[in-house]
Each structure stands twice: as structure tokens, then as C-alpha cells.
Copies of this chain bind each other. A is one copy, B any other.
Amino acid sequence: MAKLLGKLHEEKVFKDPVHRYIHVRDELIWRLIGTREFQRLRRIRQLGTTYLTFHGAEHSRFSHSLGVYEITRRIIDIFQEKKTWDPEKRLLVLSAALLHDVGHGPFSHSFEKVFGVDHEEFSRDIILGDTEVHRVLLQMGEDFPVQVAEVIAKTHRDKLIVSLISSQIDADRMDYLLRDAYFTGVSYGNFDIERILRVMRPTEEGVVIKSSGMHAVEDYIMSRYQMYWQVYFHPVTRSAEVILSKILHRAKELYETGYTFKRELSHFKTLFDGNVSLHDYISLDEGVIHYYFQGWMEEEDSILSDLCHRFIDRKLFKYTEMVSFTDGHLLSSYFTEAGINPKYYLVVDSSSDLPYDFYRPGEKEERLPINLLKPNGDIRELSRESDVVEAISGKRRTDHKLYYPLDLIEAIEDITLKSKIKEILNR
């Protein structure tokens, strides 16, 4: 089947604050951007609840997806200029780059945990199902949608293509570090992307980095490390996330126990039932979630109503470093005694990051290592060449925090009980 979509008559550009301009030269890419499934990403924030900590972090997955596309395009253009790349693969990689997050829903992390949905599965469904995205992809060949889905799922046989989208130094990570740094306003996420793009070299096993560019990669790894702890795992963001999860849990629990909601549940019904359709899923976005949460503020159930108030009006939980197991038990019983349901109001949240990891086969989440290409043609894994990376390599750092509503504790009338709780929390 002939490829029906060629070059655009005239290049289109999007003004982008991170990459200055995003250049679209292919009819295929232009049409994919115009689909409703892709446009929907405008209504889902890239960083979930982070905007409640860093007010600038209001950017969407739409912006990020364009950014990943643009970085990939630049990498490929450099490869093509050096004649080290098969131009036939171009549109496949670009489509996968653009669509890699298309299955994301609002606050994906919490939704996936509570409702057992999986954004990667929805990505696949959007690419292969009855959607505008699928119809556009089909014009490149009957086989094309499946190939795009395979690249995104990392199951495609072409390792080079997969590594451009999913590795420890791929277009996805590079865009989100730069973009999240730009929008939050923190300086940590910056690194010299132009230099990194220039030292990338394609091999059959994936992209490698010329060793002369090692320092730029070190700087990128350190950016990642800093962004994780300064932004992504910020305890205030996690406090909002904790409340969000508890709202979803509570609503589901109420639903399952036959509670009658004042507001119709249409969007949530299939989620609660565990059989959400693609159509329903696509209509979910952060605006819809906010609509429900605002409605639930008026519900009879005081836990649901209170939690929604907290989320919408940003009256978040406070936090402390995790207390001991014994103390946790004690707190839990004190909370119950004080009439505060510990199931919803005493929450442990753990974050942990592995800033860089070399390949350890057989692990659940295998991560492709970053390989350096030495002047003599040898390939060396990054952490064997870089002291700095070696120092943080494979070291999982974990942080446990306990979240609780300080205002409710302050309002406990039994002075002794209150002081016992506060004593543990302030330890």
C-alpha cells in the first residue's frame, strides 16, 4: 500500500519556549497533531499535582509530546546529515515520539494505582483502535499503526529506534527535564542538549554517545538527580497526590457500598466497575476530575467532602519524616480514638529514585545503560568512565514520609490525646 502522506507544501512551526520552534515538515505529523486524541493532551498537566507546589508547572502533556517529537526530529536530522541513518525509518520514529504519551489520563499515577488502569494499554488502544489517530496512521500502510505501537511498547525489533524514545538518555527524558525546569523556574534541569545531540551516534544496538561528550552526559544525569529530589518528589506535591488517591479510594468504597451520590457518576461509573471503555477514558481529563471533586465537596459523606475541599482549596496535609513501626501503630489508634479515620488521614508515602543504572538483566524494569563510544571504537558503559556517575549509580535512594491533617489534630479537644499525638509527630 502506497504511503499517502508526504511532505507538507510549507513547513509549519509551533512557537515553543523550550526549543524556540517546533518544526513540522511531514503531512503525517501535522495530521496526528490535529487528532482529537492528541489535542486531548492539552487538558492533562504534565506534572499532575506539582502545580500546587510550583505554580508555574501548569504545562500540559501536549507541550511535552511536541517537545519529544522535536528532539527526535533534530537527532534524526543530524544522523541523516552524517548519512548514518536509514531515511525510511524517519516517520516511524517521529510518530512514536509524538504519540508515546497519548494514552495518559489525568493524574495517571493515582488513577492507575486505584483503578488498575494502565496508560500504556490505552496508548496501544488509541493507536490500534477506532480513533482519529489510527485512521491517520493507517494512511502510511496497513502495518504502520502496529509498528508505532511496538516502538512505544519497546517490543519493536529495531533497537536503535526504541532507544531514541526509551532509554536512560532518550528524547522523552531530555524534553521533560528541560521543560519541567523551564516551567517550574528551577535551574537544576538545564544541560547542554545541543552538545548531547551532536555526540549521539546510531548503532544497531541503540544510540551511543561519543566519549568526548561524557561531561555533558554527566551534567544531564545530575540534572535528573536534582529534578527528582527538588521537584518530582517534593513533599508538598506528594501531599496533594496522597489526598487525591484517598478521594478516589473513598469514592470507590462509597460506590461499592451502595452510597447514593448527589451528582451523577457517569465518567466514574465504569472506572469503579473496572470496565472503562476507550471512549469513556478519552473523555476523562483534569477539568472533568475537577468538576467531580467540586461536586463531591457538597456530598453528605464527610470524609469525601472534606478530602475534596482539601484538594480543591489546597488545604493539604502536613508531613513529617516517617515514624517507627511502633509509633505508627500508636498514632493510628490515637487517631481512631480522636475520631479521625486513620485509613484516610494517616498516610505513608514513599518515593525512591535510581538516578542512573547500568543493565542488570532479569530485573523487573530493565533500564538500558548509557554507552560511550571511545575514539578507538570501543563501547564502554558510562559509570565505568565517570566517577560522578559511578558514585550514584545503582544506588536507590528512598524517602518515607508520613502525611496527616494538622488542622484536625489541632482541633482535638482531649488535650492529653492531642499532646500524645503531637509528641510522636514532632519526634
Q: How far is the CA of A391 from the CA of B188 in the complex (A)?
A: 19
Kindly state whether residue A173 has any CB partner on chain B within 8 Å. no
Instruction: Decide yes or no whether A108 CB sits under 8 A from chain B.
Output: no
CB–CB A15/B56 < 8 A: yes
A290 contact from B43, B185, B186, Cβ within 8 A? B43
> What sequence of 0s and 1s flags, for each residue 60-92 of chain A, a beta carbon within 8 Å of any chain B beta carbon?
101100100000000000000000000000000
A58 touching B54, Cβ below 8 Å:
no
Given B17, B54, B294, which contacts A182 in the complex, CB threshold below 8 Å? B17
A187 within 8 A of B: yes
A218: Cβ under 8 A from any B Cβ: yes
A5 contacts B by Cβ under 8 Å: no
* Other-chain residue from B20, B34, B291, B314 in contact with A288 (beta carbon distance below 8 A): B291
Task: State the Cβ distance, A326 to closest chain B Cβ, in Å.
Answer: 22
CB <8 Å contact, A16 and B56: yes
In the complex, which of the residues B182, B184, B194, B218 contacts A21, with contact meaning CB atoms closer than 8 Å?
B194
Q: Does A95 contact B (CB under 8 A)?
A: no
Quick one: which of A96-129 are within 8 Å of B by CB? Answer: none
Binary B-proximity of A28-45 (CB < 8 A = 1, otherwise 0): 000000101001001100
**Interface of chain A residues 261 through 296 with chain B (CB within 8 A):** 264, 283, 285-291, 294
CB distance from A388 to the nearest CB of B (A): 6
Chain B: minimal CB distance from A280 (Å): 11
In the assembled complex, the CB of A338 is this many whole angstroms from the nearest CB of chain B, namely 24
- Sorting the interface of chain A by its residue count into under 10, 10 to 19, 20 to 34 or 35 or more gives 35 or more
Of B39, B183, B194, B226, the residue contacting A20 (CB under 8 A) is B194
Given A287-B287, A313-B36, A387-B395, the answer on whether A42 and B55 have CB atoms closer than 8 Å is yes
Q: In the complex the two chains form, what is the Cα distance from A293 to B286 in whole Å? A: 14
Binary contact readout A301-329 vs B (1 if CB under 8 angstroms, 0 otherwise): 00000000000111100000000000000
Contact in complex: B392, A15 (CB < 8 Å): no
Given contacts A39-B313, A225-B388, A285-B290, contact A55 B51 (CB under 8 A): no
- Nearest-CB distance from A22 to chain B (Å)? 9
Q: How far apart sit A392 and B187, CA to CA, in the bound complex (Å)?
A: 22
Question: Which residues of chain A from 159 to 208 have a CB within 8 Å of any chain B CB?
Answer: 182-188, 190-192, 194-195, 198
Shortest beta-carbon distance from A243 to chain B in Å: 14
Q: Which residue of B lies closest to A21 (CB)?
A: B194
Residue from A34, A58, A182 whose CB has the most chain B CB atoms within 10 Å? A58
Asked if B58 and A58 make an inter-chain contact with CB atoms under 8 angstroms apart, the answer reads yes
Question: Which among A15, A59, A215, A218 has the highest number of chain B CB atoms within 10 Å?
Answer: A15
CB of A229 within 8 A of chain B?
yes
- Are B187 and A215 interface neighbours, CB within 8 A? no
- List residues of chain B with CB within 8 A of the CB of A20: 185, 194
For the complex, give the distance between the alpha carbons of A222 and B224 in Å: 13
Contact of A391 among B34, B286, B391 (CB under 8 A): B391
Q: Please tell me if A259 contacts chain B, counting CB pairs below 8 Å.
A: no
Known: A14-B55, A58-B63, A388-B392. A34 touches B314 (CB 8 A): yes
Whether A352 is near chain B, meaning CB under 8 Å from some CB there, is no
Q: Is A397 an interface residue (CB 8 A)?
A: yes
The answer, yes or no, to whether A13 is at the interface (CB within 8 Å) is yes
9 chain-A/chain-B pairs, Cβ below 8 angstroms: A14-B55, A42-B55, A51-B60, A186-B192, A215-B226, A219-B226, A285-B290, A387-B397, A388-B388
Knowing that A17-B56, A34-B315, A283-B294 are A-B contacts, what are 8 other residue pairs whose CB atoms are under 8 Å apart, sorted by A's residue number? A15-B56, A17-B184, A21-B194, A186-B192, A218-B226, A264-B264, A287-B288, A287-B291
